[in-house]
Amino acid sequence: MTVLSGWGRYPRAETRLVAPRDPGAVAGLHRAFSGFVARGNGRAYGDAAIGADTTLALRGLDRFVAFDPGTGLLEVEAGVLLSEIIDLFLPRGFFPFVVPGTRLVTVGGAVAADVHGKNHHVEGGFGQHVESLDLVLADGAEVTCSRGAHPELFAATVGGMGLTGTILRATIRLRRVETGWMRQRTVAAPDLDAAMAALEGAGSATYAVAWIDCLARGAGLGRSLVYCAEHATRADLDALGPGTPPMPPVRRSALAVPFDMPGFTLNRVSVSAFNAVYYRRGQAAAGPDHLAAWQPYFFPLDGVGDWNRIYGPRGFVQHQCVLPKAASRAALGALLDRVSRLGSPSFLAVLKLLGPGSGLISFPMEGYTLALDLPASAQNLALLAELDDIVRTAGGRLYLAKDARQTRATFEAGYGDAADRFRSLRRETGAAHKIVSAQSRRLGL
Ligand SMILES: Cc1cc2nc3c(=O)[nH]c(=O)nc-3n(C[C@H](O)[C@H](O)[C@H](O)COP(=O)(O)OP(=O)(O)OC[C@H]3O[C@@H](n4cnc5c(N)ncnc54)[C@H](O)[C@@H]3O)c2cc1C
């Protein structure tokens, strides 16, 4: 048995780890074991990718199967990382339609969480750009599902957290890009209203995200830097940086956190000091369009290896909620007010606008999503229950890919009828007692 955790290193659980290297082996594993779930690259924060008894580690399914440059359709095995797709295809003028805040996720994990990027308000989630999936069901039978074939199964698998079956292969659509640069504009927003107005105003921008200073209080509550961007064209390079080569040099992660930092390193004083400097730097850069390389724009955290160690040996949790638009202003104000009074503050807080979701239980709904990282101390875990209440009252819900601790009641309030339909489909396909993650057991899914 092995002790596994997600990216947040909380909670940790014992499981049997099995790592097939061939897609053909997966059906046999489904027949041999019970209480299993698939695992990609372990970037979900909590316990979604830990099997209740057995975990099928699928990074070994890492072959590229087919690519059509005419349509941008790419077929890959589920363990291929988005970073591997970008490394191979960006120099050829293609980029995934949707990327989350780290490129170190597998295609299987991106489908199973229906991950969203900074462009969800315009282009939807990862699942929207999936053409078809080859899936092994609970009993080992293999099916191909898409919007045309087995559409209910397809909709339940997109955002279904691995609980409908194991994805072997996916065919996804890549977008054409002319360069590896982004035409970026930064807006400094002195408070929450200004941040929301900037995100709403950025509705026509393909990418938009706000970094929030969670320690700002009073009149400055919610002060933010909003980063809007488009893929830069060659004409943009000529206008903004004549002579710039179309592909920026690839930066390998030079920095890494070498050991678990003591939990107290992130305190009100250190985080306040960091936030003040960061906000001032952003304010100074605000205004005109400029060029930013794709790596720091999309994946700033990938530049620091093992950064999950800065929260200390107890690990950390991310609280990510989405709130319906109409209730967002009041609920965001309440969440930020509560968090800004914390002793061990959130180092990283991000606000984005989401459009409608695509999968049966996928997380996105039209509204605002706020993500907060907090050390997993007893005090913070108690406080998160208060944040859950604010989210529930506002009609929102929590993201399963980040969740390590929500209660069944919070989950049911957020996902309602969709969760019931998902459970029925799991019963009908034999997955209910066979495909079980630590998370699905905790939430009664
Ligand atoms: C720094 C950082 C930033 C992030 N930013 C974002 C963001 O901006 N937007 C966003 O949406 N998410 C974000 N995430 C979360 C991350 O994108 C998701 O958790 C994603 O699912 C992780 O993929 P993975 O390959 O690591 O999968 P894992 O973490 O290993 O698994 C995640 C889920 O996918 C299932 N799964 C994995 N592979 C398969 C398969 N082959 N078949 C069936 N099910 C499978 C697992 O059972 C599990 O339920 C971020 C995570 C990190 C660490």
Average pLDDT value over all residues in the chain: 93
Is it the case that residue 265 has pLDDT exceeding 90?
no
Q: Is 38 in the pocket of ligand 1 (CB under 6 A)?
A: yes
Q: Is 46 in the pocket of ligand 1 (CB under 6 A)?
A: no
Ligand 1: nearest atom to the Cα of 437: 47
Could you read off the pLDDT of 388-424 as tens digits, one per residue?
A: 999 999 999 999 999 999 999 999 999 999 999 999 9
Could you read off the pLDDT of 171-201 as tens digits, one per residue?
A: 999 999 999 999 999 999 999 999 999 999 8
Q: Which residues of 42-63 are buried (b: 16+ CB within 10 A; e: fewer)?
A: bbbbbbbbbbbebbbbbbebbe
Same structural domain for residues 118 and 188? no
Same structural domain for residues 298 and 151? no
Q: Is 105 in the pocket of ligand 1 (CB under 6 A)?
A: yes
Same structural domain for residues 119 and 213? no
What pLDDT shows up at residue 358?
87
Q: Is 58 in the pocket of ligand 1 (CB under 6 A)?
A: yes
Q: Confirm whether 11 is domain-assigned.
A: no
Residue of the CA atom closest to atom 37 of ligand 1: 109
Residue of the CA atom closest to atom 44 of ligand 1: 162
Is it the case that residue 232 has pLDDT exceeding 60?
yes
Q: Confirm whether 397 is domain-assigned.
A: yes
Ligand 1: nearest atom to the Cα of 7: 53
Q: The CATH number of the domain where 73 resides is what?
A: 3.30.465.10
Q: Confirm whether 211 is domain-assigned.
A: yes
Give the residue numbers spanning the domain of 126: 64-178
> Which residues, listed in sequence order, are joined to residue 172 by a DSSP beta bridge?
74, 130
Q: What is the mean pLDDT of residues 338-346?
A: 76
* 37, 58, 82, 105, best to mutate for ligand 1 pocket (most atoms within 8 Å of CB): 105
Q: Is 40 in the pocket of ligand 1 (CB under 6 A)?
A: yes
At 97, phi and psi to the nearest 5?
-65, -35
Quote the tokens at residue 296: 């720091």
What pLDDT shows up at residue 346?
76
* 106, 309, 310, best to mutate for ligand 1 pocket (most atoms within 8 Å of CB): 106
Could you read off the pLDDT of 366-378 as tens digits, one per residue?
A: 999 999 999 898 9
From the list 99, 96, 78, 79, the residue with the least C-alpha distance to 88 is 96
Is it the case that residue 158 has pLDDT exceeding 60?
yes
What pLDDT shows up at residue 259?
60
Q: Confirm whether 429 is domain-assigned.
A: no
Q: Is 418 in the pocket of ligand 1 (CB under 6 A)?
A: no
Residue 91 DSSP symbol: G
Q: Confirm whether 24 is domain-assigned.
A: no
Same structural domain for residues 203 and 134? no
What pLDDT shows up at residue 146?
98
What pLDDT shows up at residue 233?
98
pLDDT band at 202 (very low <50, low <70, confident <90, very high): confident
Q: What is the mean pLDDT of residues 233-256?
A: 87
CA distance 375 to 315: 6
Q: Confirm whether 385 is domain-assigned.
A: yes
From the list 348, 408, 304, 406, the residue with the least C-alpha distance to 11 is 406
pLDDT band at 273 (very low <50, low <70, confident <90, very high): confident
Q: The CATH number of the domain where 258 resides is what?
A: 3.40.462
At 242, phi and psi to the nearest 5?
-50, 135
What pLDDT shows up at residue 344?
62
Chain centroid to CA 366: 16
Is it the case that residue 127 has pLDDT exceeding 60?
yes
Q: Confirm whether 25 is domain-assigned.
A: no
Q: Confirm whether 431 is domain-assigned.
A: no
Ligand 1: nearest atom to the Cα of 79: 41
Residue 145 one-letter amino acid: C
Structure pTM? Answer: 0.96
